[in-house]
Amino acid sequence: MYEENLITARKICKSFGPTRALIDVDIDIRRGEIRGLIGENGSGKSTFSSLAAGLQKADSGEMYLKGEPYDPKDMVDAQRHGISMIVQEMGAIPGITVASNIFAGRLGEFSRFGILNWKKINKAADDVLADIGAPDIKGDMMTATLNFEDRKIVEIARAMSTNPDVLIIDETTTALAQKGRTIIYNLIRRMHEEDKAVFFISHDLDELMEVCNTITVLRDGVIIDTLDQDEMSVELMRKLMVGREINGEYYRADKDGTHGDEVLLKADRISVRPWFENISLEVHAGEILGFGGLSNSGMHEVGRALFGIDKVLTGSVTLPRKGKEITSPQAAVKNGMAYIPKDRDNESIVLTGSIANNILVPVWDKLEKAAGFIRPDEERKVVQEQIGKLGIKCRNGKQLVKELSGGNKQKVAFSKWLGNDCDVFIMDCPTRGIDIGVKVDMYRLMEQLKKEGKAIILISEELPELLGMSDRVLLFKDGVISKEFGREEQLGEHDVIEYII
């Protein structure tokens, strides 16, 4: 019926309660096509991809694969049919080996008389990893020992282990530094050359224009338009995504890097081996201090140490205003610190909890009254205030966080700290995996916190964001601070790149 296409979708509909995620979606994916899917968070991109990858079932409509009816039972069944997906958030299981992750659901292929041949399994995993360009990761390694990016590369290996005809990449590049992005881009080129197809979901519009030969725009579950290469422009895509014009400049407009004199957070010669050594810094009231560098530069680990997650081997982290030393996350929270980690779904929010419970966790001690009781009306007031302040799109505070889009999950991650009236915010890649509209909201929030005299540490792998939002930038390389820049009008990416590579 549709044999000229790899994937054909007709009148696909999907709802989550009263929320209509997809409405009569029609898509045709041809061989050799790199199809970009764009739209604001909640537009339906990831929902459609999850249907194609067997993660969910459509409410109505039909899908065809190579001209044949296609209705996968689950993700493993979709892989058997030639469709693999790299999910947006972390999908690797930390407590098992790399090989077990790569062949999850398919280990029986290596069994004889009910006994698994682990030598063969590990060798097969090594071959897959070498084939995609990551020979340094081995099948017998424990996944929990890998850093964030390498765990994501294990997921890429799992997706490619079946030699798929269709590869779905859902926001993966936002979690990757140069090593991982190179792997992804090489695989995309390979899929194109082999006359296969790729779904590529990203909020980086320049990246989409560079990688894709076709881009489909969704808004509120409806396909708005599909653009060929000669029709693509960042301005047009933004307008189609949000239904309105968005000006090109969405970072801070001012070039004034001034801030208060009071030091709110101080680190004195702190070390966490092997990540960094003898790091000293101060963050002032009303200051946005940026950390820049590659994923293995040590900057993410410094953020963790400042919040007390990783115990420092030397030196100390103190809050001069409170006269307190930070030695644990509990001490950090108690003394007005907030931490928004890079790995949102595993470290920042409880996916299976409600929006209300996530928002209330840091403030329950403050709400507690005599005899240990908390008044429900006070809880509701706090929750509704944060939902309104952040513009979280949800049915109500009882909705589970796992049902929200990536951008709204990130708003929940922010909102729980805003309700705790924190003085110091450590934000590790806070705009990773969210659309341009939500990014603008996050940037305006940072500006507001700065005006209120809060101290912000912004850790980012995106140089334009780092330079556009920070009053000062500390660049990290090989576990040390390699350079410091103030907020300067003429400062560009070319001025800082040599200090991080």
User: Domain locations in the chain?
Assistant: 5-242, 262-336+428-501
The SS3 of residue 257 is: coil
Residue 168 forms beta bridges with which residues?
85, 199
Q: What is the pTM of this model?
A: 0.62
Burial class (CB in 10 A: 0-12, 13-18, 19+), 60: exposed
Q: Do 5-242 and 262-336+428-501 share a fold? A: yes
Burial class (CB in 10 A: 0-12, 13-18, 19+), 326: buried
**CA 293 and chain centroid, separation:** 17
Residue 337 forms beta bridges with which residues?
424
Superfamily of chain region 5-242:
P-loop containing nucleotide triphosphate hydrolases (3.40.50.300)
Distances in Å between the Cα of 216 and the Cα atoms of 10, 44, 296, 469 are 15, 11, 34, 30
Dig out the tokens for 310 from the structure: 């990783």
**What is the arrangement of strands in the sheet containing 263-272, beginning at the earlier edge strand?**
276-284, 263-272, 314-319, 324-325
Question: What's the average pLDDT block by block, 10 residues per block, for the chain (501 residues)?
Answer: 75 84 93 90 85 93 94 92 85 88 87 86 96 95 89 93 94 75 93 94 86 91 92 86 62 86 96 94 97 89 96 96 94 93 82 89 65 69 86 87 84 84 92 77 92 96 90 94 91 85 78
The DSSP annotation for 398-438 comes to TSBGGGS-HHHHHHHHHHHHHTTT-SEEEEESTTTT--HHH
* Rg over CA atoms, the chain: 23
**Which value, to the nearest 10 degrees, does the dihedral of the CA atoms of residues 408, 414, 416, 419 take?**
-120
CATH class of 262-336+428-501: alpha beta
Q: Given the DSSP bridges, would you call strands 455-460 and 288-292 parallel, antiparallel or unpaired? A: parallel
**Residue carrying structure tokens 């009910």:** 114
Distances in Å between the Cα of 409 and the Cα atoms of 18, 47, 56, 344 are 19, 15, 20, 8
Look at the alpha carbons of 436, 437, 438, 444 in this order and tell me if their dihedral is positive or negative: positive
Hey, which bits of 220-323 come out as E strands? 222-228, 263-272, 276-284, 288-292, 314-319
Backbone phi, psi, residue 412, to 5°: -65, -40
pLDDT at 42: 73
Q: Given the DSSP bridges, would you call strands 83-86 and 166-170 parallel, antiparallel or unpaired? A: parallel
